[in-house]
Amino acid sequence: MKSLYEDLPPVEIAGQKFVGRVLFGVLVLVSAVVGAVTGLLLVYTTDLPQVEALEAYRPSSITELYDDQGRVIGSFALQRRVVASYEDFAPVLRDALVSIEDKDFYRHSGINFWRIVGAAYHDIQSGGRVQGASTLTMQLARNLFLSPDRSFHRKVQEAMLAIQIERRFTKPQIFTLYANQIFLGHGVYGFEAASEYYFSKPAKALTLPEAALLAGLPKGPGVYSPINHPDRAVKRRNLVINAMMEDGKITAAQAADARSAPLILHLQHDPNSLAPYFVEEIRRYLENKYGADQVHQGGLKVYTSLDVDLQKTANQVVLDGLAAYERRHGWKGNLENVIAEGTAIDKYQDPDWDEEPEVGGYVHALMTSSAVGIATLKFGRYAAALGQADVAWTQGKIPNLLHVGDICYVKILSLNPNGAARVSLEQDSGAQGALIAIDNAAGGIKALVGGRDFNESKFDRATQALRQVGSSFKPYVYTTVIDKGGSPNDTVLDEPVTFETVSGPYSPHNYDEKFEGTITLRRALAQSRNIPALKLASKVGINSVINYAERFGITAKLPPYLPVALGAAEITLIEQTSAFSVFPNDGVRVIPRYITKVTDYEGRVMEEDYPEVKDVVSARTARIMTSMLREVVLHGTAVAAAKMPFPIAGKTGTTNDFTDAWFVGFSPSITCGVWVGFDEKKSLGAKETGAHAALPIWMNFMNAAMAGKDPGQFEEAPMVPSMSFGQKLDTADTAAGADETH
C-alpha cells in the first residue's frame, strides 16, 4: 500500500509537515492563552462584589433642614449629594458627559475593546502606567466597589464588574447611578448637587456652557476647578464642547457661541451659614436621637420652626446693633497684622472668605496697599478702597489707623460682579449679642442668633450662656404679688431701707439714686425701681418668687437671696424669652421647640412634634402683668419703643457695672429677647443699659417681623380693687421674710 507522500516531491512533503507542526503549536499556544486568561479571570473575579447589591443601592445623601415655609436652611452630609433621576439631568448634560467620557456608551456592553487596545499601546510606547480607556460603566464600578489605584489587577476587575452591571441594568439606570455618584470637587458629589453648588440651579436647567463645564470635571475635579483654576476649567469646557460638535450633538454655530461664553458662577451660599447656631442645636439633638451615621448619610428631611426671613432680619439687626455700640465707644485699634506674624499678603486666606459675601454683611478684610489718604482692602475675590470720609467716625487719619497687612472689620455696602466693592470701616472689640424670637401660639423658635460670628465661636449665647438678667427678673416678683391677690394700683413706699439678713445689713439703692415716695406697683415696675421690688419680694418671700420663676420655666438654680429679686440670678436668654411668652398667652407656657417633623429618605415620618403646653398662672394674672409691662414701653424705661405701630410690652434689664444689657418683650403673636455683653464679665461702658444697648436691636427686629401682618391686640386686663395689698406692704416690717433672704 502506498504512503500518502510517495508521489509528492521531497520539498512539498517537508513543507506540509512544517505547516502541521505550526498549526499544532498555534493550537497549543491558543489553549495555553485561553487557559491562562481563564485562570487569571478566576483569580481576579473570586473576590468581586455582587452587582446585585446595586438594585438596592442608595448613595449617601444629604440630610436637609427646612424652615416653616419649606425653604432649605441647612444640611448635614459626609458627601454633599442630591440624588436625582435620569430625567432630572438635562439632555445637554447627558450629551456632554457621553461625548467627553464615553462616546460609545449607548452601544458598548460595558467595555470598549478598541479604547483599551489604544490605551495599552500608549502605555507600551510611553512606558507609563495603565492609562484611561474606562467607560462610564467601568468608572461606576470603580467608584462603587474598587480602589482608585491604576494597577492591571484593578483594571481587569473593573472590566468584569462593568460587564455584569451592563447585563443587569439599562443604560439610563447606569447613567443615573454614575451621575449621582461621581465626585465633582469642593465636597460635591453628583451632577445635581454640583449644578446647585456652582450655578445655584437644578441640573435640569443647565445651559450648554454650564453643562460642558460640569462634564469636564470628572477627569480632575481639583485640576479643573472653576473656582480655583478658572482658566483650566474654561479650556476643559471648550474641549467638551468640541467633542459634542464632533459627535453631531451641537452645531458649529452653537459650539462657537458656547466657547466664547464667559465663565459665570453663581456659587450657592452655604445654607448652614444662615442660622448656624440654630442648625447646630438641631445637629446635636438629631445625633443624640438617631446617631451620627443616620444624620450625615441617611438623607433625612427635617422640618423646623425657623422663618428664613425673620432669621435674616435677626442676623442683620444684631450685627448692626453691635456696630452702633462699637462706634459709640470709639476706635480702639489693636489690629492683627499678618506680615508681623510672618504670613505673606498674597498667601493669607481668612475663614470669612470661604463663603460668598452679601451686601449688608460684615467680614474681615486685609489691607493690601495704601496711597495718600486711601487704603486698599481685599476680602475673597473682592477689593475695596477706603477714603478718609469712610473712617470719619474714628476721628483718626487712615495712615494712623491702618497699615499694610492689617486685618480689619468692615461692613459691605455694595458688590460689583467685576470684583469691586464698597465697604465701611467697623470694629470688633469682642462685644457679643444674642437674639431669640418665639412664636407665642406654637412655641416655635422663629429666629436665633447666638453670637457675632459662628466661625470664630461656636458657643451659643442664646441657649448656653448663663448671664445675670438684671431688672428683667422683676416681672416674676410682680407676678407673685398679683397672683396672690395684688393690684397694679396698690402702692408701695419708695424710700431708703435696710434689710437685716444673716449675712448682715443690706441697704439697696435705686439706679438714679433717688426715691419717689409712695408709688403704685404699675409705676414701680415701669420705672424699674429697685426698692419697691425688694420690698415686694421680702413681703411675699423670696422663695415664693423663685417658685414662680420656676413655674415660668426657669431651670437655673436660683439662690434664696433677696438680691435675686433685682436680677442677681443667671438665666439663659431662651428661658427668659420663653418665660415672657406666658404673659401674652393668658398664663400658658408653650415649651420652645425647634423641630416640627422628621422623615426618613423614603418619606416615612420618624417623629412629629406638637406644641407642649403648661399652665403657669391664671389668665387674670397674665393680663394684668401684660398691662403693667405695656406701661414699661409707654411711660417707663423702654419708652423709646412707645411709637412702634403695634401693641408691645416688655422689660429692660441692666446688671451692675453695665456688664449685661437685656430687653425681653412681646407682641400678641411673638416674643423676642435680646442680650448684649462681653463673654468675659466686663463692663460695656457707662450708660450702656438695656434700653440703650439691647432695646434698639429688639425694635429693629420687631418692626421687620410685624411688617405687613395683622398685629392683633392684647386681651384687656380685668378691673382689680386697689390699695388693700399695698397698704399692708406700706406698714409691713421691712425685716419680714428675713429668714428667706440670707
Residue 30: per-residue pLDDT? 60
Instruction: Express each pLDDT in 315-326 by its tens digit.
Output: 999 999 999 999
Enumerate the β-bridge partners of residue 439. 670
Instruction: Express each pLDDT in 56-114 by its tens digit.
Output: 666 777 899 999 999 999 998 877 888 899 999 999 999 999 999 989 898 887 776 65
pTM: 0.81
Cβ–Cβ under 8 Å, residues 333 and 401: yes
Average pLDDT over residues 568-593: 97
Residue 297: per-residue pLDDT? 87
Average pLDDT over residues 332-360: 90
| Confidence at 289, pLDDT banded by 50, 70, 90 | very high
Q: Residue count of the chain, please give it.
A: 742
Residue 44: per-residue pLDDT? 45
Q: What is the CA radius of gyration of the chain?
A: 37
Give a three-class secondary structure readout of 518-553: EEEHHHHHHCCCHHHHHHHHHHHCHHHHHHHHHHCC
Task: Pick the more confident residue, 26 or 400.
Answer: 400
Residue 36: per-residue pLDDT? 46
CA distance 59 to 67: 25
Instruction: Express each pLDDT in 662-680 by its tens digit.
Output: 999 999 999 999 999 999 9
Cβ–Cβ under 8 Å, residues 311 and 73: yes
Residue 342: per-residue pLDDT? 92
Residue 52: per-residue pLDDT? 62
| Confidence at 14, pLDDT banded by 50, 70, 90 | low
In the predicted model, is pLDDT for residue 4 greater than 70? no
Most confident of 23-32, 142-151, 589-598: 589-598
Residue 149: per-residue pLDDT? 57
In the predicted model, is pLDDT for residue 2 greater than 80? no
Contacts of 305 (CB under 8 A, 6+ apart): 68, 439, 442, 443, 444, 445, 446, 593, 594, 595, 596
CA distance 698 to 721: 34
- H/E segment holding residue 436: strand 432-439
| Confidence at 5, pLDDT banded by 50, 70, 90 | very low
In the predicted model, is pLDDT for residue 153 greater than 60? no
In the predicted model, is pLDDT for residue 728 greater than 70? no
Average pLDDT, the chain: 87
Instruction: Express each pLDDT in 586-617 by its tens digit.
Output: 999 999 999 999 999 889 999 999 999 999 99
Residue 43: per-residue pLDDT? 42
What long-range pairs does 261-265 form, CB within 8 A, spacing at least 24?
Answer: 261/209, 263/213, 263/226, 263/230, 263/233, 263/234, 263/237, 265/198, 265/199, 265/226, 265/227
Q: Say if residue 365 is exposed, middle or buried (CB neighbours under 10 Å; 0-12, 13-18, 19+).
A: buried
Residue 532: per-residue pLDDT? 97
Enumerate the β-bridge partners of residue 613. 590
Cβ–Cβ under 8 Å, residues 431 and 325: yes
| Confidence at 724, pLDDT banded by 50, 70, 90 | very low
Say what percent of the chain tops pLDDT 90.
69
Question: Could you give the residue numbers annotated as active site?
Answer: 101, 471
| Confidence at 494, pLDDT banded by 50, 70, 90 | very high
Instruction: Express each pLDDT in 161-179 by its tens digit.
Output: 878 888 888 999 999 989 9
Residue 736: per-residue pLDDT? 35
In the predicted model, is pLDDT for residue 364 greater than 70? yes
Instruction: Express each pLDDT in 232-285 by its tens digit.
Output: 999 999 999 999 999 999 999 999 999 999 999 888 877 778 999 999 999 999
Enumerate the β-bridge partners of residue 374. 371, 387
In the predicted model, is pLDDT for residue 25 greater than 70? no
Nearest alpha carbon to residue 440 among 665, 691, 703, 628: 665
Residue 530: per-residue pLDDT? 96
In the predicted model, is pLDDT for residue 120 greater than 60? no
Q: Say if residue 65 is exposed, middle or buried (CB neighbours under 10 Å; 0-12, 13-18, 19+).
A: buried
